[in-house]
Amino acid sequence: MHLSHFEDRINAVCERHPDLPRQAVILTRLIRFLSGAIDDRLSRLLEREGLGGSAWAVLTMIYSDRDGAARPSCIGQALSQSRAHMTRISDDLVTAGLVERVANAVDRRAVDLRLTAEGERRVQALLPQVGGLYQEMLGIIDPAGLDQLETTLRSLLGHIEHLPPIDPTTGTSA
């Protein structure tokens, strides 16, 4: 519904600027919409648990660690979020009783985040729901299409991440 409306506008602009890469514009819109729609649904599912998307991501980062511990800075790096934000999320999760801060013996600057028993219980209770949500959203694509999509998105992401960074003064990627 949104998209068709957008498409009219993209077409109108592309008429006036024939050198614009119309398909690339549409694809970026699609990716943005998809990402937003996925996050929206996940957020609404987590809302009932009093969790935000970031908090859930932190919980799963800890849970997915083989040793059951993770340091805020590592999590932030993996999630592309600032250390300051990790401090806040950690505060919230600690006061919610889902996470505890454990001083790291070998590096006294560092803190290990660990799930409490309650935190682990909550993660294990939520994981199937989140998995079901993802499956519900992506399940209409047939397996071959999913494989195709995965390889395409992987190469796309790899390419973009290896692109030279954009110089903010010139606006070019050289």
Contacts (CB under 8 A) with a copy of itself, residues 49-108: 49, 60-61, 63-66, 78, 80
114 interface partner picked from DNA, a copy of itself, none, CB below 5 to 8 A per type: none
The Cβ-side half-sphere exposure at 25, using a 13 Å CA radius, reads 16
DSSP element (H, E) containing 102: strand 99-103
Q: How many residues bind a copy of itself (CB under 8 A)?
A: 79
Q: Which stretch binds a copy of itself (CB under 8 A): 83-91, 101-109, 113-121, 154-162?
A: 154-162
3-state secondary structure of 155: helix
Site residues for DNA per CB under 7 A: 52-54, 71-74, 80-91, 101, 106-111
138 touches a copy of itself (CB under 8 A): yes
CB 92 within 8 Å of CB 72: no
How far apart (Å, rounded) are the C-alpha atoms in residues 100 and 113?
6
Which residue in 102, 75, 78 sits closest to 89, CA to CA? 75
Three-state SS at 110: coil
> Considering beta carbons, is residue 14 or 130 the nearer one to DNA?
130
Q: Which CB, 103 or 146, lies closer to a copy of itself?
A: 146
Instruction: Please state, in angstroms and rounded to a whole number, the distance separating the CA atoms of residues 94 and 17.
Output: 54
Options 91, 103, 121, 155; binder of a copy of itself; rule CB under 8 A: 155
From the list 28-36, 82-90, 94-102, 108-116, the region that binds a copy of itself by CB under 8 A is: 28-36
Residues 6+ away with beta carbon under 8 Å from 116: 97, 98, 99, 100
Among 95, 105, 117, 169, binds a copy of itself (CB under 8 A): 169
| Nearer to DNA among residue 60 and residue 81 (C-beta) | 81
